[in-house]
Amino acid sequence: MARHCETFDHTADVGLAARADTRCELMSALAEGLADVMCDRAQVASARQRRVVVESEDAGALVVDFLSRLLLAFEVDRFLVAEARVWQCGEASLSADLLGEHYDSARHELRNEVKAVTYHELKVARENDEWVARVILDL
Q: How confident is the model at residue 8 (pLDDT cuts 50, 70, 90)?
A: low
Give mean pLDDT, residues 107-134: 95
Q: How confident is the prediction for the chain on average, in pLDDT? A: 94
> For a pLDDT cut of 90, what percent of the chain falls above it?
91
State the Cα–Cα distance between residues 58 and 61, nearest whole angstrom: 5
Task: Parse the chain into domains and list their residue ranges.
Answer: 4-138
**Which of 85, 87, 74, 84 lies closest to 115, judged by CA?**
74
State the Cα–Cα distance between residues 39 and 59, nearest whole angstrom: 26
Q: Is 114 helix (H, G, I), strand (E, B) or coil?
A: coil
pLDDT at position 9, please? 67
Q: Is the pLDDT of residue 1 over 60?
A: no
User: Is 62 within 8 Å of 69 (Cβ atoms)?
Assistant: no
**Which of 51, 72, 69 lies closest to 61, judged by CA?**
69
Give mean pLDDT, residues 11-35: 94
Q: How confident is the model at residue 5 (pLDDT cuts 50, 70, 90)?
A: confident
Architecture per CATH, domain 4-138, reads as 3-Layer(bab) Sandwich (3.55)
Q: Is the pLDDT of residue 72 over 90?
A: yes
User: Is 29 within 8 Å of 130 (Cβ atoms)?
Assistant: no
> For a pLDDT cut of 70, what percent of the chain falls above it?
95
